[in-house]
């Protein structure tokens, strides 16, 4: 679930400077065993919003690297989606199965509260709705709560809708039409988002291929959507029009890209490019249209944002639909600039932050 890489002996401030963070908060509590890091990357557009994940990191340096990378990603996701949110993320260091207690979570909630709304937390890997309820007992700066608690509920259907919109925009670029009827689409990962995405694709009459780490999930999806079941590693070799990574990150790498026969890659997984500077250009050189991951999977964040600003699911879906137009713009811009879509999307996000930063420069 957590993609980390070997962290070199760079100083803490060296790493923070490299990622250009505003603030990094180390939280420690002897009684509960809490060790957490909150990364606040950029708050030019608004409060830093991003989930808290709990993970047994091999070292503190690895945890720092993860929180810095993830929180920076949230900045770009919010910025390109037109949200008035900054980027943040938190990691709690430890084994969720044995260390997670009510007291530890509530202590963490108090650290979030101390930031006075500069950071708003939400659910992420190894955190449940129940855990968020405990954090909520100590701070109001929590989002993504269940609908029964007045929150915006499961973000996955909205993420799937945005991914679908981004896929259609990329299809238009590659095939000249955004219709997915008859298109052969391989969806990797039959989880929350993948399954909702299949509903849209089936409705449009796409021919579906599916795979999942858990065979029963893959089989259930194949039966439900009339899809062809594909082996875990075989998915990259299929004769398809579109590959949709909806499981883990880094599935676009030097091993898989040469095997792809598709003309479009569009999925909801985070950090799909193993190395964006290598694999972004490589997809372009192979004539594959890549819909940037942080752009087309922003529906979930848009849904959570609606909770922060007092909107509703309908408003979130309307905003999410705009992912189609933004993807269209980004793909055109990448081609004009002779760059690749991920780089063009990142630049568009940075430009918005810079422009709005100037707007805010007077009282
Ligand atoms: P999930 O955990 O519900 O589903 C992931 C699925 O992928 C699981 O069924 C798992 O068994 C499967 N899987 C894992 N490794 C696989 C492999 N090698 N091959 C095939 N299947 C594999 O997660 P989700 O909520 O559906 O999210 C999917 C992806 O989208 C993740 O990368 C997540 O970070 C990202 N994402 C999710 C949301 C959201 O709203 N849930 C928002 C933005 C991004």
Q: How far is residue 280 CA from its own chain's centroid? A: 17
Q: What are phi and psi of 90, to 5 degrees?
A: -135, 145
- Please write the tens of the pLDDT for every residue from 53-63: 999 999 999 99
Name which of 234, 233, 219, 225 is nearest 206 in CA terms: 225
- Output the pLDDT for position 149: 84
Burial group, residue 253, by CB count within 10 angstroms (0-12, 13-18, 19+) = middle
Q: Is 86 annotated as a binding residue?
A: no
The one catalytic residue in 77, 89, 118, 172 is 89
> Distance between CA atoms of 141 and 164, rounded to whole angstroms?
30
Q: Is 280 annotated as a binding residue?
A: no
Distance 245 CA to ligand 1 centre (A): 9
- Output the pLDDT for position 150: 84
Distance 193 CA to ligand 1 centre (A): 7
- Residue whose Cα lies nearest atom 20 of ligand 1: it is 212
Q: Is 193 annotated as a binding residue?
A: yes
Give the atom of ligand 1 at the shortest distance from the alpha carbon of 249.
Answer: 32
> Distance between CA atoms of 264 and 242, rounded to whole angstroms?
5
Q: Is 39 annotated as a binding residue?
A: no
The pTM of this model reads 0.93
Q: Which domains does the chain have, with CATH numbers?
A: 13-73+85-149 (3.40.50.10860), 156-298+324-350 (3.40.50.720)
- Please write the tens of the pLDDT for every residue from 159-198: 999 999 999 999 999 999 999 999 999 999 999 999 999 9
What residues are in contact with ligand 1 under a 6 Å CB criterion? 155-156, 159, 188-194, 211-214, 217, 232, 246-248, 268-270, 297, 300
- Output the pLDDT for position 276: 95
- Tokens in use for 107? 């202590």
Distance 357 CA to ligand 1 centre (A): 34
Q: Provide mean pLDDT across the span 129-153.
A: 91
Q: Is 89 a catalytic residue?
A: yes
């Amino acid at each position: 679930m957590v993609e980390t890489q070997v962290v070199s002996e760079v100083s803490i401030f060296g790493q923070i400077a490299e990622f250009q963070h505003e603030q990094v908060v180390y939280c420690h509590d002897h009684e509960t065993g809490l060790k957490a890091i909150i990364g606040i990357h950029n708050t030019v557009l608004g409060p830093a919003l991003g989930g808290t994940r709990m993970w047994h990191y091999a070292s503190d340096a690895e945890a720092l690297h993860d929180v810095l990378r993830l929180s920076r990603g949230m900045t770009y996701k919010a910025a390109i989606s037109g949200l008035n949110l900054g980027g943040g993320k938190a990691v709690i260091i430890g084994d969720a199965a044995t260390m997670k207690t009510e007291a530890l979570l509530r202590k963490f909630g108090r650290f979030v509260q101390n930031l006075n709304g500069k950071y708003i937390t939400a659910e992420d890997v190894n955190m449940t709705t129940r855990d968020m309820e405990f954090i909520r007992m100590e701070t109001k700066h929590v989002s993504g709560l269940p609908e029964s608690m007045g929150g915006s509920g499961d973000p996955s259907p909205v993420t799937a809708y945005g991914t679908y919109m981004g896929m259609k925009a990329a299809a238009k670029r590659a095939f000249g039409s955004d219709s997915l009827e008859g298109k052969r689409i391989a969806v990797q990962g039959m989880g929350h988002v993948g399954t909702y995405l299949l509903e849209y694709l089936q409705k449009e009459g796409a021919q579906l291929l599916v795979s999942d780490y858990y065979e029963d999930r893959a089989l259930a999806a194949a039966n439900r959507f009339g899809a062809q079941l594909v082996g875990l590693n075989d998915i990259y070799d299929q004769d398809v029009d579109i590959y949709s990574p909806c499981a883990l990150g880094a599935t676009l790498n030097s091993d898989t890209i040469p095997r792809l026969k598709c003309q479009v890659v569009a999925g909801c997984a985070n950090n799909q490019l193993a190395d964006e500077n290598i694999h972004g250009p490589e997809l372009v050189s192979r004539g594959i249209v890549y819909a940037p991951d942080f752009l087309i999977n922003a529906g979930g964040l848009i849904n959570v944002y609606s909770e922060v600003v007092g909107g509703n699911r309908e408003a979130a879906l309307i905003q999410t639909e705009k992912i189609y137009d933004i993807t269209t713009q980004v793909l055109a811009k990448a081609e004009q600039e002779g760059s690749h879509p991920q780089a063009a999307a990142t630049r568009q996000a940075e430009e918005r932050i810079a422009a709005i930063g100037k707007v805010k420069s007077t009282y």
